[in-house]
Amino acid sequence: MGLDIRYPIGLMFSLIGILVSVYGLVTGSDKALYERSLNININLIWGVFLLIFGAWMLFMAIRAKKQNK
């Protein structure tokens, strides 16, 4: 048919997840930045969640393409 919507969604979430995760890793030692979030590195946590979701969407798109062949 056409382009599976899961490809661009998966790529977008994966890229944003990588960026946010790297930012969380780089700024992990900055205590003042994470003071408002009870010293929890929220950027790293959400970056990993976004990356997992993006990878899942890409996996599902690839799996659907293989099943349709």
- The set of residues, in sequence order, having a beta carbon less than 8 Å from that of 23 and lying 6+ positions away, is 43, 47
CA distance 46 to 23: 11
Q: What is the pLDDT of residues 6-44, one digit of tens each?
A: 999 999 999 999 999 999 999 999 889 899 999 999 999
Q: Residue length, the chain?
A: 69
This model's pTM is above 0.85: yes
Q: Report which DSSP code applies to 31.
A: T
